[in-house]
Structure 1
Amino acid sequence: MDDAAVLERKGYSLSATLGEGSYGKVKSAYCNKLKCNVAVKIIDKRKTPRDFLERFLPREIAALKRLHHPSIIKTYEIFETSNGKVYIIMELGVKGDLLDYIKITGAMKEDFARLKFQQLASAIKHCHDSDLAHRDLKCENILLDKDLNVKLSDFGFSKPLSRDENGRTILSKTFCGSAAYAAPEVLQGIPCDPKISDIWSLGVILYTMVYALMPFDDSNVRKMIYIQKQHRIPFPKSKYLTTECKDLIYHLLQPDVSQRLCIDEVLKHSWLQTPKSQIPTSPSAAETGECSQNLHDKKPEHKQEAKTHPAEHEGQKENGSS
């Protein structure tokens, strides 16, 4: 039985393909029960490697079932057929992903960026409070609904956190995700708390929202790590940002993991509170070097909805236990 027939029996009318990967595809469909369009992620287990089936797919499904938050993509139904196909019915990000939105509209004004970042940070707090790290935070994995509300998606790399006998988080040794958004400790293969590494990725996302640029050029990863470890963040003079916004970016993109903010500290930061008028300030010594990268210079990636297998993500490297 083909996909359309399987879904028809479940009350879904299949339509356009949103994206396609090595091990599956994502299509849009109309749900007769919900009276709205949804996204249908279809994974053919017969065509997927064992590593994906044993680790990544179960983690993604478990995360989708476990997480319920207004700023996390909603999962309506998950079912599997006898021929080994898994169907994940999810909320549709009708306005596409954040990267495409920024490419079209340009850098966000701070007040608007504050609202979107607040939604995203709130979603990450929900994950972290549930002892789950996302591990692949980037603009392509943030969908927008019809009202431009943030909907965090793609939990293929997510990982439930384990603790040792002293209650401390067991460190991760796996590099996953995209180099441009990955924390320097991840890129260097240093065992790390993936929740803290998520915070760095939030910094890259916020920078991209307000500048419509990437903060670091990942065409030379070794050079990029060198710049990151010096805590050199380019704040282009072409756009004025408040002191608070730059301060938050500076503390999110903190190379010293012991000094990097946790998600609760992020949400309490002054920039995310009531906006205040600011007087422009001179760049600090840390604001050196124009090493940011235009979004349109980035290599094209799969559409967010097309992500059907973690191994398709740019820059994945297994360095040990995941």
Structure 2
Amino acid sequence: MNIKNRIGKYELGRVLGEGNFAKVKYAINVETGQSYAVKILDKEKVFQYKIVSHIKREICTLKLIKHPNVVRLYEVLASKRKIYIVLEFVTGGELFDKIACNGKLHENVARKYFQQLIDAVGYCHSRGVYHRDLKPENVLLDAKGNVKVSDFGLSALPQQCRADGLLHTTCGSPNYVAPEVIADRGYDGATADLWSCGVILFVLLTGWLPFDDRNLAVLYQKIFKSDFKCPNWLSPGARNLIKRILDPNPKTRITIPEIIENEWFKEGYSPAKLVEEEDTSLDDVNAAFTNAEEHLLTEETGPVHMNAFQLIAMSVSLDLSGFFEEEDAAERKTRFMSMHPAKDIIEKIEETVKDMGGIEVQKKNGKIMLRQTNPKSSKNGHLSVTTEVFEVTPSLHVVELRKSSGDVALYRELCKKLSGNLSSDSLSGNHSSDSLPSSEVKFDENNAVWSAEGGVTCS
């Protein structure tokens, strides 16, 4: 059975990405049609690996940030098993991909991206948030080619500073990390982030890293000494700015206000327009990590909707599978309609199989797998059938059975029993045909309504 998942007002779709502790799925707000990316966390794993504070920090960080060049976090939802972080859906890919495909960028293009990056990072710093893992892979582009800083998983808030006012956790990606971070004697989050921005600018303009070596110790020595060379074909303004950012001494390193006043940086610069901020509540974040019933949402699952054209394609006269199968398609695939709710259909399938005996039910990837447990009793091997339920309308479903292997006679018996038990007569007292031949399904083009002869009508 093809499944659609829904949490609150969001219907979840395809997987966009997957990591050790989270999966990101495309989602649609069913009320507005707006697209989102939803990061899904497994509560059990979050608590098992003791990363609750880490995850809460990332969520709280993003809720504090409302800037056009930072990926927006809209809300946090939770069920008993999952935590759902609703994020802005960014479609333009990573800045890293842009460099990987095109190599170095034209100076004006690189400058535009860098201006937006500095805008975003400066805003984060003004809110007391330090990213600590800035690199092209964590800088996304929207459909219009605008920068969207993402992945605040290593971000730090002022509360994490020690008595000396410095951060002490060594983190980040080696090629982009500031020398004071490696030194492990404490560092200022703002100046460390700025160093990473300088490395990104160098990569944008040249297509390669300023500091790189297979030997980590050698790499760190290059970073400590700021041992790099700017190519001569870079403009003097760009070379000068890079050298001032990649100053190994954080106390003399250029600051963001000074960057904004830099002549090379100012060319064509248009500061981001900030929207009026509303008060930010973290109540939903705190509630997501509790199991209080009043804060938990129910995960809803159901069959994928089937439109008119998909229904046409399923009719027997238009089924082309027989051209590609050695066995008669009629012996391999069976469909019938039911006016019972999807949940009841699934339960009825399980009951029917249990009554027959010798067949086990497995649910996998939204489908119901029916497998014969005593294959020795059948000369043609054990029966294996895949069952799916498709929703035409909320009141009408198509049940499809596909035989992968096994005895045809047993398969026919199974289809006959399921068809009888799932027919609308047996479940709701209404008439419905047991199969779905094309002659019994019509499409009214004027009213855009499907109707099946025998009185079943669905819009």
Q: Normalising to structure 1: TM-score of the pair?
A: 0.77
2:245 aligned residue: 252
- List runs of 5+ in structure 2 lacking aligned partners: 269-459
2:224 aligned residue: 229
Match of 1:35 among 11, 15, 33: 33
Does the residue aligned with 2:119 lie in a helix, a strand or coil? helix
Relative to 1, partners in 2 of residues 1:4 and 1:184: Cα closer, same or farther, differing over 3 Å? farther
1:52 aligned residue: 51
Match of 2:112 among 106, 110, 115: 115
1:72 aligned residue: 70
Q: CA deviation at 1:26?
A: 0.9
| CA–CA separation in structure 2 for the residues paired with 1:251 and 1:33 | 50
- Report if the CA contact (8 A) 2:211-2:227 is conserved: no
| CA–CA separation in structure 1 for the residues paired with 2:112 and 2:208 | 19
| CA–CA separation in structure 2 for the residues paired with 1:262 and 1:176 | 21
Question: What are the within-5 Å matches in structure 2 for residues 1-322 of structure 1?
Answer: 4-5=4-5, 8-48=6-46, 49-54=48-53, 56-83=54-81, 85-162=82-159, 170-237=165-232, 240-274=233-267
| CA–CA separation in structure 2 for the residues paired with 1:59 and 1:32 | 29
Q: CA deviation at 1:31?
A: 2.6
Q: Deviations over 1:137-189 (max 9, x none)?
A: 11111110001100011111111114999xx9711111112111111121222
- Aligned residue identity for 2:239: K
| CA–CA separation in structure 2 for the residues paired with 1:34 and 1:182 | 42
- Report if the CA contact (8 A) 1:163-1:169 is conserved: no
| CA–CA separation in structure 1 for the residues paired with 2:50 and 2:14 | 29
Does the residue aligned with 1:213 lie in a helix, a strand or coil? coil
Q: Deviations over 1:102-147 (max 9, x none)?
A: 1112211111111111111000111111111111111111110001
Relative to 1, partners in 2 of residues 1:139 and 1:163: Cα closer, same or farther, differing over 3 Å? closer
- Report if the CA contact (8 A) 1:75-1:90 is conserved: yes
Q: CA deviation at 1:41?
A: 0.5
| CA–CA separation in structure 2 for the residues paired with 1:198 and 1:241 | 23
- Report if the CA contact (8 A) 1:69-1:126 is conserved: yes
| CA–CA separation in structure 2 for the residues paired with 1:211 and 1:35 | 41
1:279 aligned residue: none
Relative to 1, partners in 2 of residues 1:270 and 1:50: Cα closer, same or farther, differing over 3 Å? same
Compute the RMSD of aligned alpha carbons: 2.1
- Report if the CA contact (8 A) 1:45-1:53 is conserved: no
| CA–CA separation in structure 1 for the residues paired with 2:194 and 2:66 | 20
- Report if the CA contact (8 A) 1:162-1:169 is conserved: no
Q: CA deviation at 1:50?
A: 4.6
Q: Normalising to structure 2: TM-score of the pair?
A: 0.55
Q: CA deviation at 1:9?
A: 4.2
Relative to 1, partners in 2 of residues 1:164 and 1:21: Cα closer, same or farther, differing over 3 Å? closer
Moved more, 62-71 or 101-110: 101-110
| CA–CA separation in structure 1 for the residues paired with 2:187 and 2:133 | 15
Q: CA deviation at 1:191?
A: 0.9
Relative to 1, partners in 2 of residues 1:162 and 1:9: Cα closer, same or farther, differing over 3 Å? closer
Structure 1 or 2: larger strand share?
2
| CA–CA separation in structure 1 for the residues paired with 2:130 and 2:111 | 22
Q: CA deviation at 1:272?
A: 1.1
Does the residue aligned with 1:207 lie in a helix, a strand or coil? helix
| CA–CA separation in structure 2 for the residues paired with 1:163 and 1:51 | 18
| CA–CA separation in structure 2 for the residues paired with 1:228 and 1:106 | 23
- Aligned residue identity for 2:178: A
- Report if the CA contact (8 A) 2:198-2:246 is conserved: yes
Does the residue aligned with 2:175 lie in a helix, a strand or coil? coil
- Aligned residue identity for 1:217: D
Q: CA deviation at 1:35?
A: 2.7
| CA–CA separation in structure 2 for the residues paired with 1:31 and 1:215 | 43
Moved more, 225-234 or 107-116: 225-234
Q: Which runs of 4+ in 1 moved over 6 A?
A: none
| CA–CA separation in structure 2 for the residues paired with 1:259 and 1:216 | 20
- Aligned residue identity for 1:11: K
Percent sequence identity over aligned pairs? 36
Relative to 1, partners in 2 of residues 1:4 and 1:156: Cα closer, same or farther, differing over 3 Å? farther
- Aligned residue identity for 1:203: G
- Report if the CA contact (8 A) 2:15-2:25 is conserved: yes
